[in-house]
Chains A and B, each alone.
Chain A
Amino acid sequence: MGALLDFARGPLFRLTFAIMVLGLARLLFLDIIGMYRAYRRTTDKKMPWKLIFSRSFEWFFPVKRVIRERHVYSLLSIVFHIGLIIVPLFFFAHVNLWKEAVGISWPALPYSWAFWLTICTIASALFLLISRLTVKAMRALSLGRDYLWLLLLLVPFVTGFICANVDVGPGSYQVLMLVHVLSAELIFVLIPFSKIAHCVLAPLSQVVCALAWKFPPETDDDICTTLNKKGAPV
């Protein structure tokens, strides 16, 4: 068990972490190249930059949405995202691992903050899961993998929380820690190949949208031809 844990924390971690970081960088790179090519082809070179920025900004800080429509859902979704990003990055023991392995460190969250933020994240994830299951409109929009993602994201949070706060015996601690590490690594690997890639691609999505409006009119036919589905509705 100890050897397995060492392997998961050593080589496997480096492997999966590198896949995530470089994989995301690669997506960003390919996205920008694709956008550049599309831009070169368009006849109308004027881009509505102002609109793009204000839209992106709105999506990043969806204050309006919280106030106007679906208050609870939007708020919890924000909490979920914040927890998802902050806790893994700034939890003390994680920062410490980096410090010991490569010698770089950054300020860590105080204990109580990490504690409450984790609880909030877990709670909001559960809420999101339940609302996906119960609200009709949301269920219609959800695919199987949307549920799976929520569950998968929950695993490292729950196991990490137990490891950090519950006084379990050394044996079960190791098992929990192994699950914690392995599930996090599974997430790392999947991120650049799934919808979670929006964590780096989101800033570009509005630009992509704006560009899509500028495709020459006959593009849709071309796309259908390329996809071997001539005449299909777009």
Chain B
Amino acid sequence: MNRVQNTKLVLWLMTGFAAAIALNRYVFGLGVTTNLNDKTPWGFWIGFDVMAGVALAAGGFVTTAIFYIMKREEFHPLVRPAVLTAFLGYLAVVAGLLVDLGLPWNIWHMIIYWNPHSPLFEVGWCVMLYTTVLLLEFSPVPLEESSRYARVRNFLMRFRFPLVLLGIMLSTLHQSSLGTLFLIMPYRLFPLWYSHILPIQFFISAVALGLMMVAFESLISHWLYRREPETPLVGKLCGAAVWVLAVYFIVKMTDIVAAGKFGLIFNGNWQSDLFIVEILVSTLIPMALFAVPKLRRNSKVQWVGSSMVVIGMVLNRIDVGGLAMLDSTASYTPSWMEIAISLGIVSAAALAFLFVTERFHIWEIRPEDPQSLPHTPPSFDYSSRTWLGVPRIASLTKHTLAFVLSFAVGMAFMPGRKLHAEGIDSVTVSRATGIDTLCIDGNRDDQFVEFPHQAHISWIRTHKIPTSPADDTSGFALAGKDSCSVCHHLNLPGERLSECWECHASMYAQADFFRHDWHASPAGAKLKCDDCHTAGVTRTAQSAKKCTACHPFYKFTTIGVGATPAYHILSYTDAMHKMCVSCHVVEAKVVKDKQDLALCTTCHRVGTPPNLRAGMKWDISVPHFDNVVLPDVGLSVK
């Protein structure tokens, strides 16, 4: 078993899968890839990728501070890996942000249009500057490979100390300003996490996490490449972490007690349980373990303790970044696609880390991929017995194949039906309820329209529904039973009065009401293609028979069907607005004392009407957003 190879294989698989989902996100938007909504615009990506990512990168500034400022020479072996992790960590944060931001290509706006009052302004600048600083700080390492770049390298080395200082400064700002972001959310964030000194707490915990992340990383890479672990050095880091964790714990507890929130810890609700778990895992248990000198010099305990701090602090960032807000935000659970992308970004960063450590001088002894040692036999492809190339190429051959295959699987998993909706969430419409008065609430969000159905049958008398201002609407006389087809312009096969929701089945997205494939399928209308399409001509909408050729009673004209391309039907919302508003606009001028007929408030109501409540299933968790365009009938609504 080859640890490095297998780890890399898994990482490549996850990266490939995530790449497919990321493609999906860029082509079709956030709507189809995430469960984010207007009430919860910050979800898993912010909590995990950004908040935790930045915190995990804290190892960089902590180690450089120890080595360059405190002049603790013995930590030298840890500086390069720590700076590399910080650099890759920040790149991962940037990658996560690029996926999460709605219009990532507008990020340059921030550089030119300043808004110094915003914490996000500070965060954005810190990310950009610190990533640049890290790049400059790290680039001497790859540059030392070839003497050709000696000049550049020497130039950079001259600025090493100022760069390190700048890096520490920017990190300090940035780690704490991530906490600042949440100061504006006292009503969202659960009180146990909310605090006026959140920035300070973030900074202290970042220091602890930075120390432990460096330790964890040293342990894991020595395990991967089967080398003697740096136990004494890691032990020292653990010793330092005890102090920092202690400070963190005291600051946090003092704050909670001072704010009178101590009782909340033992409240027994899920937030308090979460809080206790978080404090135990991130702080108390590791602190207790490492406080014993004998234990912290034991490599197994180092494993346990450092991974606990890493997991615990990441949990802390996720809590602050969203988990502890769940009660006040709309119910949000990250979609599997969000999680897949986050895992993919982490995997890609890990792959980059392994690549750089194998390629450049990061550890004192450069780890060799065991696969590429001189005595390993050449590898062959199982199926056709072809040579896969020199070891490095051979593993590339295998890993790229893994990437391709898992990317393809990711593509297959994409929710196909959603793709046609142009990024608009498909919200299934539920039927209107009531008898004489209908309650129209397609998405069951408690915001409904009260529709005097029976009354309309007698009111409708003079008008054809105008589809354009030029339409002649005079002289149309429908009343009583004859008026049905004004609204019920189409009946499904075997029905006499089909209801709106049966065809306008999607709340906000257009749908295919014609059901082309159903007409041609043996289970549906059993028609041959050429029953509708003319033979010998390209089969298009234009060359197909019109619906009325077979369904002469359909009243397409009243409503202007065919206005949408390819026989798409309007969304439920649009169809309702088009139907109701365009008539009301005209009627408002005609009917006496009804000038308000076309105003929003004439129809829209909030809450459940008592007389309609029976027989109605309310499901308010349906995502709600306002993708509504009022019909353009050329008539102005006053």
Binding site for B on A (CB under 8 A): 1-2, 10-12, 14-19, 22-23, 26, 29-30, 33-34, 37, 92-93, 100-103, 108, 110-111, 164-165, 167-171, 173-174, 192, 226-227
Contacts and interface: CB of A to CB of B under 8 A. Distances in A.
Q: Which 3 A-B pairs have the closest CB atoms?
A: A15-B412, A18-B408, A14-B411
B387 A22 contact: no
A226 B376 CA distance: 12
Contacts of A30: 393, 396-397, 400
B422 interface: yes
Given A18-B411, A26-B400, A170-B522, 13 more contacts: A2-B517, A11-B412, A19-B404, A22-B407, A30-B397, A92-B539, A101-B420, A111-B537, A111-B538, A167-B530, A169-B528, A170-B526, A170-B527
Interface of B: 20, 27, 378, 387, 389-390, 393, 396-397, 400-401, 403-405, 407-414, 416, 419-420, 422, 517, 520-523, 526-530, 535-540, 566
21 contacts: A1-B523, A2-B521, A11-B416, A12-B412, A14-B412, A14-B414, A14-B416, A18-B412, A22-B407, A23-B404, A26-B400, A26-B404, A30-B397, A34-B389, A92-B540, A101-B420, A111-B536, A167-B530, A168-B528, A169-B528, A227-B387
Contact of B408 (A15, A33, A92, A226): A15
A121 B538 CA distance: 20
Contacts of B517: 2
Given A110-B538, A170-B521, A170-B522, A22 B528 contact: no
Contacts of B566: 100
In terms of DSSP, what is the predominant structure of the interface of chain B?
A: helix
Given A2-B523, A92-B539, A170 B408 contact: no
Nearest to A15: B412
Among B520, B521, B530, chain A packs the most CB atoms within 10 A around the CB of B521
Contacts of B528: 167-170, 173
A92 B171 CA distance: 56
A174 B403 CA distance: 34
Contacts of A34: 389, 393
Contacts of A10: 416
Nearest to A101: B419
Contact of B400 (A1, A29, A100): A29
Contact of B522 (A103, A164, A174): A174
A14 B413 CA distance: 9
A15 B397 CA distance: 20
Nearest to B27: A102
A26 B407 CA distance: 12
Contacts of B397: 30
B422 A19 contact: no
Contacts of A100: 420, 566
A1 B522 contact: yes
A173 B411 contact: no
B416 A33 contact: no
A26 B522 contact: no
Contacts of B419: 101-102
B393 A92 contact: no
A174 B526 CA distance: 11
Contacts of B414: 11, 14
Contact of A173 (B387, B405, B520, B537): B520
B521 A174 contact: yes
A171 B405 CA distance: 34
A86 to B, nearest CB: 16
Contacts of A173: 520, 528-529
Contacts of A111: 536-538
Contacts of B413: 11
Contact of A15 (B396, B411, B522, B526): B411
A33 B393 CA distance: 8
B408 A19 contact: yes
A30 B407 CA distance: 18
A29 B412 CA distance: 24
B380 to A, nearest CB: 9
Nearest to A108: B538
Contacts of A22: 403-404, 407-408
Given A30-B397, A168-B528, A173-B529, A226 B378 contact: yes
Contacts of A171: 522
Contacts of B409: 15
Contacts of B420: 100-101
A27 B378 CA distance: 20
Nearest to A167: B530
Contacts of A168: 528
B416 A26 contact: no
Q: Which of B408, B526, B535: most chain A Cβ within 10 A?
A: B408
Contacts of A18: 20, 404, 407-408, 410-412
A1 B405 CA distance: 27
Contact of B393 (A15, A37, A226): A37
Nearest to A9: B416
A185 to B, nearest CB: 11
Contact of A33 (B396, B401, B422, B530): B396
B355 to A, nearest CB: 14
| Most chain B beta-carbon contacts within 10 A, residue among A12, A18, A173 | A18
Contacts of B20: 18
Nearest to B417: A10
A111 B254 CA distance: 79
A110 B539 CA distance: 11
A80 B325 CA distance: 63
Nearest to B383: A193
Nearest to A27: B400
Contacts of B412: 11-12, 14-15, 18
A18 B405 CA distance: 8
B404 A92 contact: no
